[in-house]
């Protein structure tokens, strides 16, 4: 007979591996969404606008410059220097470089309308999963993911609301910048708007599912948790 006090132990998942997976799938998801023709994801729309208006830098380079601005903004809001935010920028740099890598081969994928719809759905789910994983890895994460999470903690406003507002602001900036500088709105589509309005909620749903199936821990904490489970 089972002990009624026994508690189901959730599988342990290393935070370091969680971060690697999150960065890998998010960078691919961003480029795949753009390739789908439905528009770029909101988190990369501002760097994309800069890469089109000022093309002397690549999308990847503008991405980590934008992320540096987000890190600086968080330090201003917290009114202190936060070392972990600098590590977040390093992660953001790797993310930006991966964007450029994916752009080198993505054009080899088929472009029929059915494929493009599939690309959007896959990219939407990948980005949502990647952000949910980032929020649980326990390590410095990509600044575009870090910013809404930290702003939620600073303001006390729920993460889904902050995330949706952040994405919406990015879209407005992108639309205004490309229209004023290029004469037409570029990089935004129905997929971009749909993702911006719903992704915060989707991330929350995926995050709840992850919390119910895994325990995320980093380094020594993971080792101790594993020992306790024996």
Structural domain includes residue 55: yes
Asked if 192 contacts 67 with a C-beta cutoff of 8 angstroms, the reply is no
Which SS3 state, helix, strand or coil, does residue 12 take? strand
DSSP letter (8 states) at residue 183: S
Nearest alpha-carbon partner for 96 in 45, 142, 146, 139:
142
Structural domain includes residue 154: yes
Give the tens place of pLDDT for each residue, 137-146: 888 788 887 8
Asked if 15 contacts 222 with a C-beta cutoff of 8 angstroms, the reply is yes
Domain membership of residue 118 as a residue range: 12-213
Structural domain includes residue 49: yes
Residue keyed to tokens 């964007």: 99
Nearest alpha-carbon partner for 222 in 65, 50, 18:
18
Give the tens place of pLDDT for each residue, 37-79: 888 878 788 999 999 999 988 888 898 899 889 999 999 998 8
Long-range CB contacts (within 8 A, 24+) of 129-133: 129/25, 129/206, 130/21, 130/22, 130/23, 130/25, 130/26, 130/29, 131/22, 131/26, 131/199, 131/203, 132/203, 132/206, 132/207, 132/210, 133/18, 133/19, 133/21, 133/22, 133/210
Half-sphere exposure of 206 (CA within 13 A, CB side): 20
Structural domain includes residue 78: yes
- Residue 229's pLDDT band, with cuts at 50, 70 and 90, is very low
**CA trace torsion 132, 138, 139, 144 (10° rounding):** 30
Structural domain includes residue 196: yes
Nearest alpha-carbon partner for 199 in 106, 151, 130:
130
- Residue 8's pLDDT band, with cuts at 50, 70 and 90, is low
Dihedrals phi, psi of 13, to nearest 5 degrees: -125, 125
* Rounded percentage of the chain residues whose pLDDT exceeds 70: 91
Structural domain includes residue 227: no
pTM for this predicted structure: 0.76
Measured CA distances, 128 to 27, 50, 112, 203, 213 (Å): 12, 24, 24, 5, 17
Calculate ∠ Cα 179-180-182, nearest 5°: 65
Give the tens place of pLDDT for each residue, 145-184: 789 889 999 999 988 888 888 888 998 999 999 999 999 8
Query: In total, how many domains does the chain have?
Result: 1
CA end-to-end span of the chain: 20
Structural domain includes residue 3: no
Structural domain includes residue 134: yes
């Amino acid at each position: 007979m089972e002990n009624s006090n026994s508690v189901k132990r959730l599988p342990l998942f290393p935070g370091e591996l969680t971060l690697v997976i999150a960065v890998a799938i998010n960078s691919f998801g961003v480029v795949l969404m753009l390739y789908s023709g439905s528009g770029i994801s909101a988190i990369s729309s501002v760097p994309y606008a800069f890469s089109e208006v000022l093309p002397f830098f690549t999308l990847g380079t503008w991405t980590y410059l934008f992320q540096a601005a987000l890190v600086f903004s968080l330090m201003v809001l917290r009114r202190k220097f936060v070392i972990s935010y600098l590590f977040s920028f390093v992660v953001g740099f790797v993310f930006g470089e991966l964007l450029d890598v994916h752009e080198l081969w993505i054009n080899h994928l088929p472009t029929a309308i059915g494929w493009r719809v599939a690309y959007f759905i896959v990219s939407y789910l990948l980005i949502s999963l990647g952000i949910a994983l980032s929020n649980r890895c326990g390590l410095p994460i990509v600044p575009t993911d870090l910013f809404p999470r930290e702003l939620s903690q600073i303001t006390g406003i729920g993460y889904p609301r902050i995330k949706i507002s952040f994405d919406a602001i990015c879209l407005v900036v992108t639309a205004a910048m490309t229209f004023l500088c290029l004469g037409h709105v570029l990089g935004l589509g129905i997929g971009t708007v749909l993702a911006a309005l719903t992704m915060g909620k989707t991330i929350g749903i995926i995050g709840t599912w992850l919390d119910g199936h895994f325990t995320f821990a980093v380094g020594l904490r993971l080792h101790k948790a594993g020992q306790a489970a024996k």
